[in-house]
Amino acid sequence: LDELDGQILQILQQNGRASHTEIARQLGVGHTRVRDHIHRMEAVGVITGYCATIDPLALGYSIHAIIHVSVDQQQDFDEFAAQLLAMDEVVEIFNVTGEFDALVRIWVRDFRHLREFLYGKISELPAHQNTVSSMVLANQVKPLTLSGR
């Protein structure tokens, strides 16, 4: 990646809908040059897609939680993760080292919904052994930058 690629990525992280022309104007280069750089980064897998950021609160999901899960080591973790990802509440799964095998990030409407999720969905999965829940009080997200390369 060159310096222009980094600048383009920075703009796209702030606004994934920015047009080639808008990016070119901000960077003082031609739009075809921007287009070519973006297409190349897509082709080599640096840019893997574009998505809309949705506000869970606007959809009625008021509780954000992290569920720490112990998984039966005799079970296939990928199958367990696929079963979790099929659940509407689950937005992210991490296979981790340490006391637990997985961290599962979820959004639920209220405490009743959380209870239904914990005791009616996760606990019924064959690989599930134990869970500990943590409520997210606040979160801050920083996009990956190229300065750490």
Q: What angle do CA 140, 56, 80 make, to 5 degrees?
A: 85
Q: What is the CATH number of the domain that holds 104?
A: 3.30.70.920
Note whether 31 and 93 are same-domain residues.
no
pLDDT beyond 60 at 149? no
For residues 66 and 130, state if they share a domain.
yes
Q: The whole model's pTM is what?
A: 0.81
Q: Is the predicted pLDDT of residue 142 greater than 90, yes or no?
A: no
Task: Convert the pLDDT of each residue in 71-117 to its tens digit.
Answer: 998 888 999 999 999 999 999 999 999 999 999 999 999 999 999 99
Cβ within 8 Å of residue 34, ≥6 positions away: 8, 20, 23, 24, 27
Number of domains in the chain: 2
The CA distance from 45 to 9, in Å, is: 13
Residue 84's domain comprises 56-135
Shared domain check, 81 and 12: no
Is residue 63 within 8 A of residue 109, CB to CB? The reply is yes
Instruction: Report residue 145's pLDDT band, with 50, 70 and 90 as the boundaries.
Output: confident
| Torsion sign, CA atoms 60, 65, 71, 75 | positive
Residues 131, 68: one domain?
Answer: yes
Residue 149 located in a structural domain = no
| Same domain for 130 and 94 | yes
Flag whether 67 is in a domain.
yes
Same domain, 88 and 20: no
The answer to whether residue 140 sits within a structural domain is no
User: Does residue 48 fall inside a structural domain?
Assistant: no
Contacts 24+ apart (CB under 8 A), 89-98: 89/113, 89/117, 89/121
Does a structural domain hold residue 119? yes
pLDDT in tens, 35-69: 999 999 999 999 999 988 899 999 999 999 999 99
- Are both 32 and 95 inside the same structural domain? no
